[in-house]
Structure formats: structure tokens, C-alpha cells
Structure 1
Amino acid sequence: MANSNPSVWHSPIRSISDDPSSPYFLHYSDNPGLVLVSQPLTRDNFASWSRAMRIALSVKNKLGFVDGSILKPTDSEVDLLNAWIRNNNIVISWLLNSVSKDISASILFADSAKEIWNDLKDRFQQSNGPRIFQLRRDLITLKQDQDSVSVYFTKIKAIWEELNHFRPMCSCGKCSCDGVKNLEEYVQMDYTMIFLMGLNDSFNHVRSQILLLDPLPPISRVFALVVQEERQRAIGNHNTMNTSSRNMAFAIKNA
């Protein structure tokens, strides 16, 4: 049976660094200047930043260097130790590239990616209570205002998805009653209600029509209905403007 411990990974054919399935493998694009996430870490976004970084590191097969599952080899394992040091330094570079400048200065002299990760987690991970309060407040107070429906929905979805991260869910796969299903339906209804509440008053008609539906459609369908209404208005306004322009041109021509 093959050894599954990445810290003692062995290949009978080639070097561990040449095996694409090994966490020690470095693709030619895995350079120190690579930026893995679009939004750098600040003092207020650790939850979303850490999730994005974990996904990116997982894709690169380097997550073990920050969660501690890939242990540093002993001095006697020279080739393996050199590979570990090289990969550890690459991951450190990626972390430095993915945080704000004032934060990067405080982690520059850390010896391992795991040390940096734990330091950032200890400093910036907020306890659940204050963060949930902030997200709920942002969700309730968010309004469409001058945004398009798509931009407004994107803002709501970003807050909702992070809030969902804190919501307890059944993960055992053995729940057989309808309680979990009913709870999920209620949560989705809450999502839909918040979206509808923040829409501009100009959407009162379509909002009223949606609320009359029983059961309420899923949020994706509600969004599609509102966007459709927005597009129809844009077409109507465009046609009205074209008619007005043609009438004006005709009046000028016959003046």
C-alpha cells in the first residue's frame, strides 16, 4: 500500500519534486510573485479572505503547508527537506502577496507558512457574535438605491454567503425527518424577503406579484423575474426616447 503521508512521500521512479501529484511539486507558473486571491487581507475581512486562500492553496496542492499536515522533514532527509523548504518559502511568498502592506511587514520574518497562518488567524479572526451582528445589520440596512438589480443582488449575496458560513447545518447525512428541509425552506424564504425589501419602490408591482405566489419561488427565480422587469423597462424607455427623437427631427424638418 502506498504511503499517504505527504511528509514522507516516496516515488520509485522519479524525484518527489517531479511528481505532479505530490504537494512538493512546483509548476513553472508557481513563482514567488503569484497573487492567489483578488482581495488582500485587511483587518476586517479574514473570514472571506481565509476561505479564498484555502481554496486557492488547495488547488495548488499546498494547503498542507499552512494547516500543518505536511510536517518539516528531519535533517537526515536531505532531498525531502530541501523540497519542503522550497515549497514553504513559495507559500510564504504567496501569503505576503495576499495581505495588505501594513500586515505583510508584521509577518515578513516568520519561519514557516503555518506560523504565518496561525498568527493571522489569532489576530484577525473575529468571534462569531460580533461578526454575525455586523453581517445581519449590513443585510437589513442594504438598499438598492442607484444600483442596478444585478449589482444590488451581488452585494446581498456576498453578505448572505458569509452569514451562511456561521449557520449550523446538518452534515451527518442521516436526518430523515422534514425538520431540516423545512428549516432550509424558511432560510431561503428569509433570503428572498430581504432581497425584496431592499428593492426600490419602483418595483412595487413585481414585488407584490411575487409575494402572492405560494410557495415563494427560490431566490434565483425571484432575481430573474426582477431583472426581467428591469430589462423590459429599459427597452420601453429606449423606444420612448427613439419616438421622441423621431418626432423632434420631423418637426425640425418641416419647420
Structure 2
Amino acid sequence: MARGGQHNNDDRFQPLTSPTSGSTATQSDQSFMENTNNPFFIHSGDHPGLVLVSHLLTGSNYNTWSRAMLMALNAKNKPRFVDGILSQPMTDNPTVGIRSRCNNMVTSYFLNAISKEIADSLLYLESAHAIWADLHERFHQSNAPRIFQIKQQLHGLSQGSLNVNTYYTQLKILWDELKNYQPIPVYHCGGMKAWMDYQLQEYMMQFLMGLNESYASTRGQILMLDPFPPVAKVFNLVVQEECQWSIGSRSSAPSDSMTFNASSQLFL
């Protein structure tokens, strides 16, 4: 039987001797349970009540939820139970019991990560693959409507009553999801770097535009810098300003000279 990470076909799951032998099934089961590279391996910490993702699927968050779930399943070496590659074996195959246990385990992962209203409609589906396909058919959105929604949210997002960290986090979530939908252009002779620099500049502009007017002086000084600093460093500067205000060291927006000195730290 092939071992390790070889996943070309199901020949590796065949018994070492006749499948009618009880000792053969026991030997096969033991092998699968001990091989951590095998999709049938179940860790001692795995149990049906395990929650793999932090947010429940409610329907509208399917795109982000499915991405997080696939990452978690990959960490568990179980994505093949949802992509349909692992088909159900013949009933006389000694791996049928192991497959059934793993399938039920992955099904439990799904039910624990889905709102009760949706989970109740999935209980009678026979496999984890069937659940995954059903959720995709119901909630997957094509790219164009979702891109429109993201850009609409970005256009309307501003700091308002949010602190700088929460505001930036909400922006970054939308940026990262939008980036996932955008094709990567093919450039030569440094063109890719120029395109990436332009995207980062757009992010920085969007972040600065949505800040409250109390940061107007800080924003003005940053916009005067050449070249533009990375958006993460701009964020760090604004957070420093916010922290100093919150402890009472400043009663109003910082002066131009103090802001410029802080901004110059971006290049240290």
C-alpha cells in the first residue's frame, strides 16, 4: 500500500491481502489511523463538537465563510471529503468504516459552523460533499454582484464613531476580499511593481479620505510626503496620534510641526 502524501488514485486504500480477512481490515485500519499524511487520519483532539471557524454561516457571508472553512479543512487534511475526490468505496472494502467516520466528522464540522436555521436543512444529506455542494448552490454569488457590493461598501465607509483600528480593519477586510476577485495583470520590466504600488496608494488615499476631520492636519502632512509611505505605516502614525489624544496629552488636533515630525518617522 502506498504511504505518505501520494494521492494519485484509490489503489493505496486496497488491503494488503484478501479483504475477507478480519486481520487484514484491522491492519488496514491501524495503518490509516497512524499515518498523519492520510486524509483518513483523525487526531485525538478531533471530536464532533469541534468548531473550526470563528463565524457561523448565515448566508450573506458565504464567500468569506467558505474560504475560512477550506483553510481549516486543509489544516485537518480533509478537503478531499468536500471536493468529491474521495468517492464512496464498495461495501466489502476494508476502508468503508474509516471513510464513514471521517465523513461524519467533517459533516459535524459543517453543522457546528452554520446557523441553526441553515443547519436544520442539511441534516439528511448523506455526505460532507453533498452539504458543501448544496451550500455553494444556494449562497455562492457570481463575481460581478459581489464586486459591486464591496465597492459600494468601500465608497460609503468612513471612520465616524469608530476608533482608527476598527475603521482600518473594516477597510482591510473589504480590500482583501476585493483583491481575491481581481485578476492579476501580466506586466514586464517592472510593470507589476508599478501596478502594486498604485494599488497600495489607492488604499492609503481611501483610508485617509475616510478619517474624521480631527485628523485633517495629519492627513495633509502625509499627502505632502514623496514618495507615499505604505498604508500600514500611515495607519501606525494615525494610531499613535489617536493614542496621544486619548491620554490627554493633546486637547486638539496636533500642530503642523508636531505632525510633520511624527510623519517623518515613517522613513526611519
Between the aligned partners of 1:136 and 1:239, the Cα distance in structure 2 is 36
Q: CA deviation at 1:8?
A: 4.2
Q: Which among 165, 179, 198 is matched to residue 164 of structure 1? A: 179
RMSD: 2.1
The residue identity in structure 2 corresponding to 1:48 is T
1:174-213 alignment runs, 5 A limit: 176-213=188-225
Q: Residue in 1 aligned with 2:243?
A: 231
Q: Which among 73, 76, 88 is matched to residue 72 of structure 1? A: 88
Q: What is the aligned length?
A: 235
Q: Which among 142, 152, 169 is matched to residue 167 of structure 2? A: 152
| 8 Å contact kept, 1:7–1:72 | no
Instruction: Describe the shift of the 1:239–1:123 C-alpha distance in structure 2 as closer, same or farther (beyond 3 A).
Output: closer
Q: Residue in 2 aligned with 1:60?
A: 76
Between the aligned partners of 1:30 and 1:153, the Cα distance in structure 2 is 35
Three-state SS of the structure 2 residue aligned to 1:107 is: coil
Q: CA deviation at 1:40?
A: 0.7
Three-state SS of the structure 1 residue aligned to 2:82 is: helix
Greater helix percent: which structure? Answer: 1
Q: CA deviation at 1:96?
A: 0.8
Q: CA deviation at 1:195?
A: 0.6
Alpha-carbon displacement from aligned partner over 1:110-168 (angstroms, at most 9, x marks no partner): 11111110110111011111111111011111111111111111111111111111011
Unaligned segments of structure 2, at least 5 residues: 17-26, 252-268
The residue identity in structure 1 corresponding to 2:135 is L
Q: Determine if the alignment matches structure 1 residue 128 to structure 2 residue 143.
A: yes
Identity across matched positions, percent: 44
TM-score, normalised via structure 2 length: 0.82
Q: CA deviation at 1:238?
A: 5.5
Q: CA deviation at 1:23?
A: 1.1
Between the aligned partners of 2:159 and 2:165, the Cα distance in structure 1 is 10
1:21-170 alignment runs, 5 A limit: 21-78=37-94, 80-169=95-184
Q: CA deviation at 1:7?
A: 4.0
Three-state SS of the structure 2 residue aligned to 1:23 is: coil
Q: CA deviation at 1:91?
A: 0.3
